[in-house]
């Protein structure tokens, strides 16, 4: 399959895609296991004596049933596979990754073939999915990744995330009696009480596209009208080979190898977003303002981990910069992809405005032909916003922060994200087993990561709806009405309307003066 998630069967050497693409590797294992079961069953059946068969009765039926069960248990099929992307080894029969000295020679040889220009990485590095890179960053699957991802996006987390989540859930069940979570709130009012209570001391937030949707930022992924679906490769400054690759997979335009080879398609597609960010075309939403007030009013915000690259949280003056981790980079800065030299964002935007054509046809002052923007240090045509490209690396800050932040978290807010992108979605199961988790989204997400809904839920609260609307209700229950009244003029149009309508409703019902007390 033309996919980033291909695996090689160590029994017959066929190559198939993972369960999170088209599931061909899984299907191959199931097919070979079924054939083995049938063969073993035939052999067992042949071993029955004529006397046993002729006698019939329950004894024979029991013997046959036992034989069938033993055949299923004995058959493994072609269950062991090696990942082409990170050289990890997965067993479908065990539903787990494998580590064994007998695998080392094979993996070492595969690593030499895959990374001929690098020294061998350790097994820990290989399992982490990256080579021994000198810049001490970590492998990622995405550019803006979950920035505009919808549930069901093709950028699903890989098998390792599912395995880690399953292990975390098993550990949680073992620790439940000694370290139970607090009582699960049953309403936003009860969640507000928990946030204000002494029991809740540390809050972490994982944010995705839903947090920024009310700002009106252009959509990349939505079916039918997102930029990926409406992309016209023939308008891009690219070779015919590059255009064909983009037709097959529009996300190719944001892959690292493509960018280093030709920066222009990426910059042409990002031009409106780059200049819009520079001109502050989009404003922070009510969801962003909730994060700001959470820190200002309670001091309990440990960290905001945002998968968005829009940088809108930077408009919140009372939200310190060190409280934010840009998991996939930020559009509001520029650097060289090759030498990592920083470039002034004003200078970069001026170059984009004068040297990069507008493929949307909305800017009459844009040049008709794009010309490269070289790095002022190394001279390569590889200057771009500080976003993380596909097949590139996540900043080490992400990994360092989660190691220090998560152990003490009492509440994880999961905001407007499909939870389909690793490793950001690992926060879901890396918070303590005693921590509550609140999902704010239109639809349930993260069930394969261990999040439970309805009667199955013991520590997961579902705030269903648009992020702005859910957080507005929560802020009203938190008693932050005075701060909300002065926000309308600084909000995007949709957020401002949501706020004004709700405040009018609250004033009419007389509930706007309800303020919760601590505890």
CATH number for the domain harbouring residue 486: 3.40.50.1220
Q: Taking residues 14-39, what's their average pLDDT?
A: 84
Range from 48-57, 116-125, 370-379, 482-491 carrying the lowest mean pLDDT: 116-125
User: Are 313 and 335 contained in the same domain?
Assistant: no
User: Are 350 and 432 contained in the same domain?
Assistant: no
User: Are 356 and 429 contained in the same domain?
Assistant: no
How many domains would you assign to the chain? 3
Of 342, 366, 394, the residue at which a domain comes to its end is: 394
Residue 229 has pLDDT above 70, yes or no: no
pLDDT attached to residue 394: 86
User: Are 235 and 329 contained in the same domain?
Assistant: yes
User: Are 333 and 251 contained in the same domain?
Assistant: yes
Q: Retrieve residue 72's tokens.
A: 């299923």
Q: Retrieve residue 183's tokens.
A: 């009582």
Helices 188-196, 467-478: inter-axial angle, 10-degree rounding = 60
- Per the CB < 8 A criterion, the answer to whether 141 and 421 are in contact is yes
Looking at 295, 328, 343, 477, which residue is catalytic? 328
> What are phi and psi for residue 32, nearest 5 degrees?
-70, -35
Residue written as token pair 């261990």: 450
Of 70, 98, 126, the residue at which a domain comes to its end is: 98
pLDDT attached to residue 6: 83
CATH number for the domain harbouring residue 248: 3.30.1600.10
pLDDT attached to residue 139: 36
Q: List binding-site positions for Zn(2+).
A: 336, 339, 375, 378
Q: How confident is the model at residue 292 (pLDDT cuts 50, 70, 90)?
A: very high
> H helices within 356-465, ranges in order?
396-405, 427-430
Q: pLDDT (tens digit, 9 = 90+) per residue, 453-493?
A: 998 899 999 999 999 999 999 999 999 988 988 889 999 99
CATH number for the domain harbouring residue 45: 3.30.40
Annotated active-site residue 328? The verdict is: yes
Q: Taking residues 145-170, what's their average pLDDT?
A: 46
Q: Is the peptide bond before 484 cis (omega within 30 degrees of 0)?
A: no
Of 98, 125, 146, the residue at which a domain comes to its end is: 98
Q: How confident is the model at residue 398 (pLDDT cuts 50, 70, 90)?
A: very high
User: Are 345 and 466 contained in the same domain?
Assistant: no
User: Are 75 and 186 contained in the same domain?
Assistant: no
Residue 140 has pLDDT above 60, yes or no: no
Domain that holds residue 349: 218-281+325-394
Q: CA–CA separation, 367 vs 363, rounded Å?
A: 9
Helices 493-509, 467-478: inter-axial angle, 10-degree rounding = 40
Q: Retrieve residue 67's tokens.
A: 């034989």
User: Are 74 and 188 contained in the same domain?
Assistant: no
Residue 233 lies inside a defined structural domain of this protein: yes
Q: CA–CA separation, 159 vs 177, rounded Å?
A: 29
Q: Retrieve residue 345's tokens.
A: 């964002």
């Amino acid at each position: 399959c033309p996919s980033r998630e291909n695996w090689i069967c160590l029994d017959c050497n066929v190559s198939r895609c993972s369960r999170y693409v088209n599931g061909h590797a899984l299907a191959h294992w199931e097919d070979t296991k079924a054939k083995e079961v049938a063969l073993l069953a035939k052999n067992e059946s042949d071993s029955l004596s004529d006397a046993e068969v002729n006698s019939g009765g329950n004894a024979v039926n029991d013997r046959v049933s036992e034989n069938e069960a033993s055949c299923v248990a004995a058959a493994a099929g072609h269950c062991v596979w090696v990942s082409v992307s990170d050289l990890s080894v997965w067993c479908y029969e065990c539903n787990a990754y494998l580590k064994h000295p007998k695998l080392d020679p094979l993996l070492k040889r595969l690593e030499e073939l895959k990374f001929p220009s690098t020294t061998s990485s350790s097994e820990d590095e290989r399992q982490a999915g990256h080579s021994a890179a000198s810049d001490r960053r970590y492998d990622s699957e995405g550019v803006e990744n979950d920035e505009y991802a919808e549930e069901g996006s093709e950028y699903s987390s890989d098998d390792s995330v599912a395995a880690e989540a399953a292990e975390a859930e098993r550990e949680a069940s073992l620790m439940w009696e000694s370290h139970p979570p607090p009582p699960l709130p049953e309403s936003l009012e009860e969640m507000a009480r928990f946030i204000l209570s002494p029991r809740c001391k540390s809050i972490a937030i994982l944010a995705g596209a839903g947090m920024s949707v009310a700002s009106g930022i252009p959509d990349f992924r939505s079916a039918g009208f997102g930029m990926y679906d409406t992309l016209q490769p023939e308008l891009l400054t690219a070779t015919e080979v590059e255009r064909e690759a983009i037709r097959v997979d529009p996300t190719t335009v944001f892959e690292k190898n493509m960018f280093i080879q030709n920066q222009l398609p990426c910059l042409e597609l990002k031009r409106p977003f780059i200049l819009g960010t520079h001109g502050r075309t989009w404003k922070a939403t009510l969801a962003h303002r909730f994060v700001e007030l959470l820190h200002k009013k309670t001091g309990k915000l440990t960290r905001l981990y945002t998968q968005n690259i829009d940088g809108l949280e930077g408009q919140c003056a009372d939200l310190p910069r060190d409280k934010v981790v840009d998991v996939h980079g930020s559009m509001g800065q520029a650097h060289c992809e090759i030498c990592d030299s920083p470039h002034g964002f004003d200078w970069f935007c001026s170059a984009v405005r004068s040297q990069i054509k507008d493929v949307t046809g909305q800017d009459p002052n844009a040049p008709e032909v794009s010309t490269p923007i070289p790095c002022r240090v190394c001279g390569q045509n590889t200057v771009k916003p500080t976003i993380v490209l596909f097949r590139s690396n996540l900043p080490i800050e992400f990994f360092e922060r989660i190691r220090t932040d998560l152990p003490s978290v009492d509440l994880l807010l999961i905001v407007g994200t499909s939870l389909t992108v690793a490793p950001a979605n690992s926060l879901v199961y890396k918070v303590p087993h005693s921590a509550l988790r609140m999902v704010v989204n239109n639809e349930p997400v993260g069930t394969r990561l261990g999040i439970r809904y309805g009667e199955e839920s013991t520590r997961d609260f579902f705030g269903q709806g648009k992020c702005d609307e859910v957080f507005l209700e929560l802020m009203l229950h938190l008693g932050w009405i005075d701060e909300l009244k002065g926000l309308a003029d600084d909000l995007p149009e949709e957020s401002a309307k949501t706020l004004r309508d709700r405040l009018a409703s609250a004033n009419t019902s007389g509930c706007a003066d309800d303020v919760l007390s601590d505890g």
